[in-house]
């Protein structure tokens, strides 16, 4: 007997929600019932950060309206592949694809570091000529 026939979809989704996103995708290949459970919003909402709605609302208006129509799974992979700018473009937010870790990049610090480093490199290049 197939275990997916014994447990209702909600139970399978609850079990799958304790795994990693990569494992949820793999479990979707087991059977049709597992696929329905693994693709459910209940599973993928757990892989999104708790404040994902706030993060989306702080994105530019054009991208936040596009994101509102996506399923939770589509939203998850969208954030993995397409970082969004937040805090007036000073920071970007993305998710790590396999484990779901939040990645925040503070572009002001990175830019200042790059500018400082580039200035030092340019200064060295001028001195060597």
For 44-59, the DSSP string reads: HHHHS-TTHHHHHHTS
Q: What is the pLDDT of residue 88?
A: 74
- For the stretch 64-101, pLDDT in tens is 667 778 899 999 998 888 888 877 777 788 888 888 88
The number of beta carbons lying within 10 Å of the beta carbon of residue 83 is 16
- For the stretch 28-65, pLDDT in tens is 999 999 999 999 999 999 999 888 888 777 776 656 66
Burial of residue 119 (CB within 10 Å: 0-12, 13-18, 19+) is: exposed
Domains of the chain, by residue range, sit at 3-128
Q: How far apart are CA 86 and CA 26, in angstroms?
A: 32
Do the Cβ atoms of 27 and 16 come closer than 8 Å? yes
């Amino acid at each position: 007997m197939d275990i997916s026939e014994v447990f209702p979809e909600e139970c399978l989704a609850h079990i799958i929600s304790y795994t990693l996103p990569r494992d949820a995708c793999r479990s979707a290949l087991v059977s049709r019932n597992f696929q329905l459970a693994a693709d459910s919003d209940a599973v993928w909402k757990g892989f999104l950060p708790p404040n994902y709605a706030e993060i989306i609302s702080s994105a530019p208006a054009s991208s936040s309206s596009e994101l509102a129509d996506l399923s939770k799974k589509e939203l998850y992979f969208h954030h993995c592949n397409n970082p969004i700018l937040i805090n007036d473009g000073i920071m970007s937010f993305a998710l790590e694809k396999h484990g779901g870790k939040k990645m925040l990049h503070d572009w002001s610090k990175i830019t200042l570091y790059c500018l400082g480093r580039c200035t030092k490199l340019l200064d060295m290049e001028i001195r060597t000529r």
